[in-house]
Each structure stands twice: as structure tokens, then as C-alpha cells.
Structure 1
Amino acid sequence: MKNKIYIITILLLVFLSCKNNSEKKEVKAAENLKQAKRESANENLNISFLLDLSDRIDPKKYPNEAMEYYLRDVAYIKTVSEAFITHMATKKVRYMDDKIQLYFDPEPKNQNINKISTELRYDINRHNVTLETLDQLKSSYSLNPLEIYDLAISDNKYVGSDTWRFFKTKVKDYCIEQDHRNILIVLTDGYIYHKDTKIKEANLTTYLTPQVIRSFKLNNKDWKDRMDKEQFGFIPATTDLSKLEVLVLGINPDNKNPYEEEVIIKYWSDWFDTMKVGRYQIKTTGLPSNLDNIVKEFILN
């Protein structure tokens, strides 16, 4: 009788031990899955472009012998798309959930431009990813942006850039996705102006032009002291952009003011800080070959 009780006890202990180990394995597997999903979410890219199609891209008004400014934009876009494809190539298919798209503000009246921008919207996930899709994306981002700029220049109807309004009313809805790393690429010369968005509150504005910088007397060696003391800058357009990273490319200051570049960069930096942008870099226009590594490092690291 004692032997039977002993055997039953041993079997019960073995059963409970096995059950406990099985439950631990299930819990561990569930934790590993959750961790994998979290890591995957952090690697999901959501890249947006905001193009400034104001007269800054006009090769007649602002010619550049080294490389026209609109062609620099096209090359920057291509570099970003290459980084996006490189990122996709490093991911396992089951974790793919990555997006890339392109915006303007205001939207061009040319329907062909809007049609092309729609064709540059890609949402790639494990259900639709193929080598053909990635090849199509690569081809689209190599060719279509140039067509957009060619059409905008041919139209010759430059209505300014309402970048401030985009940040106020659209950036959170258009450029920020949950469980993604959200990156906005802004292609601009650094000046902001639109006839329908001219707001001034004390020394804060929704616009910035070379004329404004001169009128604020930010064109001498004391510009920074004056800017800080009298609180010149952009009006904050929104709050808490901590889930957004912004890369500004193409800053092109008026060469009549030796301090113009620093003033523009401070305007943008203070603006991003006030809106609590998660991470940002602001780069002066340069040959795309010189900025290639900088752009790819921003996106891939």
C-alpha cells in the first residue's frame, strides 16, 4: 500500500512539474512574440515628403550652374527612397508594414501632378510585398518626382508654400502612424510664405522671407541677441510632435545677408523645439552626392 502511495505521489509530482514547465514555455513564447512585435513596430518606417513647389524651383528666377535646385530635390527624394528600400531588404516578410508617400501644401491645381503623387503612395506589408512591388517603387521614385517638378515649372503658377498650415492641420493626421517610426522629409529653401496664411502675433509669424528678416533687422552681427531678446520666430503650429522625426533639406539663404543661413536655421530649430519634434536635422542645400550619406544615416540609424 505504501509503495502504491509513493508511486502515485511521484507520478503526480512529475505531472505537475511537466505542466508547470509547459505553462512557463507558453508564457515565455507569448513574451517573445510580444517583444518581437514591439521590435518590429519600432522598425516600421512611415516616410512622408513635403514638397515646397514655390518659385524657389524656378530655374529662370534662381539658376544654379552646378545643379538646378529642383534637380537637387529630385535627387534627395531618390536617395530617401533608396534608404527605404534598403530598410525593407533587411526585414523578415512577416514583420513588414512600411509606408512612403508625398504631399504638397497647397495642393497644385494641376491634376496630373496630384495623380502622380497618388502613384507615389506605397503601403507595403506581408500580404502584398513582392520583388516586383519593390522594383516598381524604385522605378517610380526614380522617374515620377522629376515629372512633378517639370509640370510645376511648366505651369509657372507658383502659389507659395503653406508649410506652417501643413504642420497645423495635417501633419498629425498625414504623417504620424501608431507603431511606426515616423519621418517627414521637408524639401524647402527655408522660407515660408502663403498669401492666405499671414499671421503675426507680437514678433512671431507664420511666414518668413528675406524681406521679413531685413525688416526685423536680423541681418547684422547682433541678430541672435535681438532674436532672443525680442522673441522673433514662428508661431507654434501644433503641440507634441514627439513621435515625429523631421529632416529639412535644401535651405538656400539669400546671399545678401551673411547671417541669413543662421537666422533661418534658428527659426526652424526653435519652432521644432517648441512643438517638441522628437528628432530633427536641418541641412543647407548641397550637391546630392555630398548629402547622400547624411540622408541615409538619418533614416537607417
Structure 2
Amino acid sequence: MMQRKLIVIVVVAIFTSLFCCKDDSKKEVEIVQSTTSSHCPKYILDQKENNLNISVLLDLSDRIEEPKIKEKDSAYLSSLSKAFVEHVKHKKLILLEDRMQLFFNPEPSDNKINEIAEKLKIVFTKETAKAQIDETVSLYALKPSELYDLAKTDAQNSGEYPGSDIWKFFKYDVTDYCIDACHRNILVILTDGYMYYDKTIMNVKNRASYLTPKSLNQLRLNKSNWKDEMEKKDLGFIPATTNLNDLEVLIIGITSHNDENPYSQAIIEAYWGKWFNEMGVEKYKIKNADIPSSIEKVISDFILKT
């Protein structure tokens, strides 16, 4: 009799253990699913490639001293807003999950500049009124010009331009600010292609966190074999981060300003292209500072055609 009771106890214990393991297994699966799932609803996630998350990084260095820069950059931003609104207007209202925002690095000292940037932060959802969508184009047609005027005044008062620490933006901010699991993530950078900030100067062998007209000339890549030399010496930017495969980048405004090297613009583009490849950016386009009507098509094609 005692032996039979013992057998029953053992059998019950085995079954209890099996069921507990099964429950634990379920819990473990649930935890994994909850940590890997997106924070957006499934119907939004299914439309990921149709949900635009456009970030703009403005280079407010001394490049904006040139009178034409404000005019061109303002026109580029206006074209960007038109492409964004064109995209939005072709979506069903219930599927609206699109945004556009402006960044600087470092943050300008003039709060008015930051206030304008806040006004240019656009978020469209199914709750958005049609009037807000139409207002976006007029906002981006007027406010960028005001922003540049403030930046120049700020520079004159302080004796220096805010500058642009693009390298550090990629190192510390681009993933948090510009990449969202529910969206097609696009970063537009308005810059002349030179990268320099006096508080972020690093060198690792033949790599650097900067490129200036002076440092470019010191590379002595002024012959037709510059590409071979660049590869041989492993010249380029120091990679700031990795795993940017969910980010697309459009650079507008490349201009060499360098009469000593006929290949300077091509070298600048090669530096950026190599940098993006090494950080995992799979889709990018690098364009020179052309007339706004030409760049408008470039922007439209990049934003509206995947």
C-alpha cells in the first residue's frame, strides 16, 4: 500500500513538473515576443515603407556666410516639404503615420532658432486636420530663411558660427533621433561636404573625424590616380557607429571650394560614401550644390521612389 502511494506521488510530481515547464516555456516566448515586437500597431508596421520619418541635419558652420547658401538651402527645404506633403496626400487618412523634423549639432545658443526648429517639427497621424498638412509647405517656404538670418546674427554677436558636429551626431544621436521601427527613415544633410568641429578632432592612423580644405590638400590626392591612393593608404573618416541599415541618407550641397585640387569634389564624395558603407547605410545619395530646380527632382525621386 505504501509503495502504491509512493508511485502515485512520483507520477503526480512528474506531471506537475511537465506542466510547469510548459507554462514557463510559454512565458519565455511571450517575453521574447514582447521585447522584439514594435511599439506601433500591426497595420502601421505592415505599412512601414510607406511611413516617412524624415530628419534634416543643418550645417550652420561658416558656409552660411555665402549669400547664396541661405537661398539655396531654403529652396531645398521647401522642395523637401513639397515631396513630403505629396507623399502624405496619397495615403489613406487612417494610415497616416508620417513625420519631418529638423536637427542641429550642437544646439544653437539663440533660443529663437530652436523655436523655429520646433515649429518645423511635423507629425501627421489619422487625427491630423487637412489644414495642417497644407500649412507644412508654407512653413517650410518661410521659416528656414528666418532661421538662417538668426544664425548669422548670432554668429556676428558671438564672433563665431555655431558650427556643425556631424561626426558626433552620427556617433551619439542618429539612432535615437532618426530611426524608428515603424517608419522608412530618411536623413537629409545640408552641408558643403567638409566635416569639422573644433571639439571633435580625432585621428586613427590615416582616418580622421574631420575633413577641411587644408587637410584635403595635405593628402596630396591631386592626380588622376587619387582613388587608388586613397584605397592604398586607407584614407577616410573614422566610422562613428554601425548597423545603420535602417537609415537612408541624402546629402545636398557638396561643393569643394578648393582650387588646388581638381578632384576635390570627387574625393569629398568618396569620403562620405566610404563612411556610409562602413556604418551600414545601404541607400544614400550625395549631390552637389546645384540650382534648386534641379535638386527638386533629386529630392522628389529620393523621397517618393523607394
TM range (shorter): 0.7 to 0.9
What residue in structure 2 maps to residue 264 of structure 1?
268
CA contact (8 A) 2:44 2:97 kept: no
Match of 1:232 among 232, 235, 238: 235
Alpha-carbon distance between aligned partners in 1 of 2:140 and 2:189, rounded to the nearest angstrom: 16
Match of 1:180 among 174, 179, 183: 183
What residue in structure 1 maps to residue 132 of structure 2?
133
CA contact (8 A) 2:213 2:258 kept: no
What residue in structure 2 maps to residue 155 of structure 1?
154
Letter in 1 for 2:179: I
What residue in structure 1 maps to residue 285 of structure 2?
281
Flag the 1:39–1:90 CA change in 2: closer, same or farther, 3 A. Answer: farther
What residue in structure 2 maps to residue 30 of structure 1?
none
SS in 1 for 2:47: helix
User: Displacement, 1:155?
Assistant: 2.1
CA contact (8 A) 2:53 2:184 kept: yes
SS in 2 for 1:149: helix
Q: Which runs of 5+ in 2 are unaligned?
A: 1-40
Letter in 1 for 2:289: T
User: Displacement, 1:214?
Assistant: 0.9
Alpha-carbon distance between aligned partners in 2 of 1:111 and 1:93, rounded to the nearest angstrom: 34
What residue in structure 2 maps to residue 105 of structure 1?
105
User: Displacement, 1:70?
Assistant: 1.9
What residue in structure 2 maps to residue 146 of structure 1?
145
Alpha-carbon distance between aligned partners in 2 of 1:53 and 1:71, rounded to the nearest angstrom: 14
Letter in 1 for 2:180: E
Alpha-carbon distance between aligned partners in 2 of 1:40 and 1:104, rounded to the nearest angstrom: 29
CA RMSD of aligned residues (A): 1.4
Q: TM-score, normalised by structure 1?
A: 0.84
Alpha-carbon distance between aligned partners in 1 of 2:269 and 2:303, rounded to the nearest angstrom: 21
Q: Which runs of 5+ in 1 are unaligned?
A: 1-33
Q: TM-score, normalised by structure 2?
A: 0.82
Q: Which residues in structure 2 correspond to 1:25-36 (within 5 Å)?
A: none
What residue in structure 2 maps to residue 118 of structure 1?
118
User: Displacement, 1:219?
Assistant: 2.3
What residue in structure 1 maps to residue 300 of structure 2?
296
CA contact (8 A) 2:99 2:124 kept: yes
What residue in structure 1 maps to residue 86 of structure 2?
86
Letter in 2 for 1:55: D
Flag the 1:151–1:35 CA change in 2: closer, same or farther, 3 A. Answer: closer
